Structure formats: structure tokens, C-alpha cells
């Protein structure tokens, strides 16, 4: 375990495992190392890569510095890559994909990208997305989490199972960062994707809704150097045992 210091002084906590070329995993909205679906995937990929998991700013053991801007999170990744040694590949899940795309477009020392269902807004910073960010900034705690998860289409039966669980409690603890991910979405435009020339693998789950599948296809079409695959899975998730060999093969 260690820390990297971002340009604005924010301390980014991370842990490393495995051996081989560096690979950084980027969590989705409301997730961090202690509350993440990426642990099993990290264990599987550690056979081929030095896998680095980190807490995005404002979450877990990382600190935060206001005001938030997507550029600050790119600087966090730049500091982490400099600390662990680049070039590094990036694996992103959901809104973590958007951060990976911003990093690639900014010219960070990134080797390849593997992205599972980036929530790309084809309207490019639409008024609806801006209103969504504003509403998240007004809400806090469980109200923000409920609004966020409902708005992004989490099935009601899944949402009901989450309430009161340790995962729910952890998301509530970082509810203020949900607006960060919404701001990141606002800033992810077709022009930005056109600048992200890093080779990319865009993945989707066969069990996801049509909107998520469409977003993944749109991202692949807008990126200059991307391939698109659909894997067996459930809503917005693919088993780590299915993901790991596909991701490893592409990143090699």
C-alpha cells in the first residue's frame, strides 16, 4: 500500500499486487477499494500484471480538495502512473471508463484501455445531464444514492436488495462524490473521444439494458482505435472469470 500526491496536494491511496506490466483499475461511481466489485478481477489479473487499485479522490483512504473538476481526477491518475511507473494500462468500469478516456485524451502515459460499459451521454453535456449534476449536489446521504441509482436505471429488485446492506452504507458514506461522476459525464464529449487514440477494448454485457448496450457501441464508434465485444453477463456486470482472460489478452 502507498500514496501518490496529486498536483493539488490530494493524497491518493493505492495498493498493488502481482507482477508484470502495470495495470490500474478504476472504480465506478460510489465505489472504492473497500466497496468494490473489482477485487476478484484484480486477483485474477495479478497473474499477468502488476495490478494497482486506488481510491478515487473523496473516497476511502484518499483525501479530497475542492472545488472538484474532471481535470483534477486526471491529475490524480497522472500522479499514480508516475508513482508506479508507466506506461500503464487502464481498466475502467461504468463511470470509471469515462475517467480512463479523459486520461487517454489528455495524453497520459497510457498503454491500452479496457472499458466495461462506459455510460456515455450521446447528447454531449446536455441540459438534462447538467440538471442531474445540480440535483446531486443538492442532495446528500441516502437521498443522493437513491436518486442516482434510480436515475441510471438500476432495476427496482436490485435496488431493494441493496438498501440496508454494507454496500449501501458504503455508498452513502461517499454520496457527495456522485456529483463528481455526473460532472465527468458532462465533460465526456465526442470531441474528447476523438482525441483518445489509445487502443481500446469496449465491453458490454449481454444481460444489460438496450441503453447501456447502445452507449458501449457509441463509445466504440467514436473512438479512433477501438474494438467492441459483448460478453455473457447480467445487468451492467460481467463475471470476473469471464472478464479476466478477455481483458488480459487485449492488454498484452
| pLDDT, tens digit, 9 for 90 and up, residues 120-147 | 875 555 788 889 999 999 999 999 999 9
pLDDT of residue 124: 52
Closest-CA residue to 30 (of 141, 155, 193): 141
pLDDT of residue 125: 54
Residue 89 pLDDT more than 70? yes
| pLDDT, tens digit, 9 for 90 and up, residues 143-197 | 999 999 998 888 888 888 888 899 999 999 999 999 999 999 999 999 999 999 9
**Quick count: other Cβ atoms within 10 Å of Cβ 234?**
13
Residue predicted with more confidence, 81 or 121:
81
Q: At CB < 8 A and 24+ separation, what contacts does 43-48 make?
A: 43/17, 44/240, 44/241, 44/244, 45/18, 45/91, 45/244, 45/247, 45/248, 46/17, 46/18, 46/19, 47/18, 48/18, 48/20, 48/248, 48/252
Mean of pLDDT over the chain:
94
| Residue environment code for 39-58, b if the CB has 16+ CB neighbours within 10 A, otherwise e | eebbebbbebbbbbbbbbbb
Whether the CB-CB separation of 111 and 84 falls below 8 Å is answered with no
Percent of the chain residues past pLDDT 90, beyond the cut: 86
Asked if the peptide bond before residue 151 counts as cis, ω within 30 degrees of 0, the response is no
Entry pTM? 0.95
Residue 237 pLDDT more than 70? yes
Burial of 20 (0-12, 13-18, 19+ CB in 10 A): middle
**Quick count: other Cβ atoms within 10 Å of Cβ 225?**
12
Angle, CA of 126, 116 and 37, to the nearest 5°:
110
Decide: helix, strand or coil at residue 237: strand
Beta strands in 30-142 (DSSP E): 50-54, 88-93, 110-116
Amino acid at each position: 500500500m502507498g500514496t501518490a500526491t496529486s498536483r493539488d496536494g490530494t493524497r491518493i491511496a493505492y495498493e498493488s499486487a502481482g507482477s508484470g506490466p502495470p495495470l490500474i483499475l478504476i472504480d465506478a461511481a460510489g465505489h472504492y477499494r473497500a466497496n468494490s466489485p473489482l477485487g476478484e478481477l484484480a486477483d485474477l489479473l495479478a497473474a499477468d500484471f502488476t495490478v494497482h487499485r486506488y481510491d478515487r479522490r473523496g473516497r476511502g483512504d484518499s483525501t479530497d480538495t475542492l472545488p472538484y473538476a474532471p481535470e483534477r481526477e486526471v491529475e490524480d491518475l497522472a500522479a499514480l502512473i508516475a508513482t508506479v511507473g508507466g506506461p500503464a494500462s487502464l481498466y475502467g468500469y461504468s463511470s470509471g471508463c469515462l475517467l480512463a478516456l479523459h486520461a487517454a485524451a489528455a495524453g497520459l502515459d497510457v498503454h491500452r484501455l479496457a472499458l466495461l460499459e462506459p455510460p456515455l451521454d450521446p447528447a454531449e453535456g446536455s441540459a438534462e445531464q447538467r440538471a442531474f449534476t445540480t440535483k446531486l449536489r443538492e442532495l446528500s446521504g441516502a437521498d443522493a444514492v437513491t436518486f442516482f441509482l434510480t436515475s441510471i436505471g438500476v432495476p427496482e429488485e436490485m435496488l431493494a436488495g441493496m438498501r440496508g446492506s454494507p454496500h449501501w452504507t458504503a455508498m452513502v458514506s461517499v454520496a457527495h462524490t456522485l456529483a463528481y461522476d455526473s460532472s465527468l459525464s458532462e465533460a465526456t464529449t465526442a470531441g474528447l473521444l476523438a482525441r483518445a487514440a489509445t487502443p481500446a477494448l469496449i465491453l458490454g454485457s449481454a444481460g444489460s439494458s438496450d441503453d447501456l448496450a447502445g452507449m458501449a457501441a457509441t463509445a466504440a464508434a467514436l473512438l479512433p482505435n477501438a474494438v467492441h465485444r459483448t460478453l455473457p453477463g447480467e445487468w451492467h456486470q460481467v463475471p470476473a472469470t469471464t472478464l479476466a482472460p478477455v481483458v488480459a489478452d487485449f492488454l498484452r
